[in-house]
Amino acid sequence: MNFENLIYEVDDQLAIITINRPKKLNALNKETIQELHDAFAEADADANIGVIILTGSGEKAFVAGADISEFSDFEEEEGAMLARKGQKLLFDFIENLSTPVIAAINGFALGGGLELAMACHIRIASDNARMGLPETSLGLIPGYGGTQRLPQLVGKGRAFEMIMTASMINADQALQYGLVNHVTTQEELMALAEKIASKILDNSSVAIATAIQAVNAGFKNGVNGYEAEIEGFGASFGTEDFKEGTSAFLEKRKAEFPGK
């Protein structure tokens, strides 16, 4: 696929999506949001792809936020529409994808950039990364899921402090908060993402997709996560991957899962 603002690469079972507007610190304009949706949809539909890595181009930024120049003259209705459309098209879309997504945060992840990373299933960061939700400094609140996902990941008190102060935290603090799972050097970041991806690729993609649904169910209003788990657990017994995984264990060999 050809994109204006993204680089889409496939390396065996891995898709690497790089947001590529370095001069604008990879800020998310409308076109980039649509392209990201298309790239994630493409990777998810590709039976060969087992993990997606998302990163930003350049050494400075993962994503420095939603493109402020695009909404500076918006009124209330347009603001609500921007958030509603963006959440559906990209942020909720990524969170509910069947294919696991690792965000490799290589620099600034601010506003919509941190919200994008938080929509991914796993986050790792380089030691130069800085993260924050600066929206209240612009007279706004986070609109791409930040008020919901940040408290889920770091707890309500820390989320309130980050939102109210609009300050950035560094990679070590993000690690301590549990906002990212690992911190490494910028040079090692993609290698670490690929190492995690390769461990994921050893396991059943069908089971992983079901686990994503079950975990997410617990964070949805009106949905009983435990019930979703019971259903997903039961459904797993009807899959080829279950037969292969259990047979391989009993035969003392490595399971060979067919992929999604």
- Residues lying near ligand COA in the complex (CB under 6 A) are found at 24-25, 27, 64-69, 108, 110-112, 134-135, 138
Catalytic residue chosen out of the listed positions 35, 95, 135, 194: 135
Nearer to ligand COA, 48 or 69 (CB): 69
Per-residue tokens: 149: 């996902």
Report the nearest approach of ligand COA to the CB of residue 223 (Å). Answer: 29
Going from the C-alpha of 163 to that of each of 57, 68, 71, 80, 188, the distances in angstroms are 26, 18, 20, 19, 30
Specify the residue for token string 């019930």.
227
The alpha-helical segments, DSSP class H, found in 87-135 are 92-95, 112-119
Please tell me the distance from the alpha carbon of residue 108 to that of residue 22, in angstroms, as a whole number: 11
Nearer to ligand COA, 60 or 213 (CB): 60
Report the nearest approach of ligand COA to the CB of residue 164 (Å). Answer: 15
**Cα-atom radius of gyration of the chain, to the nearest Å?**
19
Report the nearest approach of ligand COA to the CB of residue 180 (Å). Answer: 18
Nearer to ligand COA, 27 or 36 (CB): 27
- 135 as an active site residue: the answer is yes
Single-letter code of the amino acid located at 122: I
- List of E strands, the chain: 6-11, 14-19, 51-56, 61-63, 101-105, 108-110, 122-126, 130-132, 169-170, 182-184
Catalytic residue chosen out of the listed positions 35, 95, 115, 194: 115
Going from the C-alpha of 240 to that of each of 127, 207, 257, the distances in angstroms are 41, 10, 8
Nearer to ligand COA, 56 or 112 (CB): 112
Nearer to ligand COA, 130 or 260 (CB): 130
Report the nearest approach of ligand COA to the CB of residue 6 (Å). Answer: 17
- 251 as an active site residue: the answer is no
The candidate with the shortest Cα–Cα distance to 83, out of 69, 97, 71, is: 71
| Geometric angle at alpha carbon 125, from 23 and 187, rounded to 5° | 75
Report the nearest approach of ligand COA to the CB of residue 99 (Å). Answer: 27
Per-residue tokens: 147: 């008020």
Catalytic residue numbers read: 115, 135
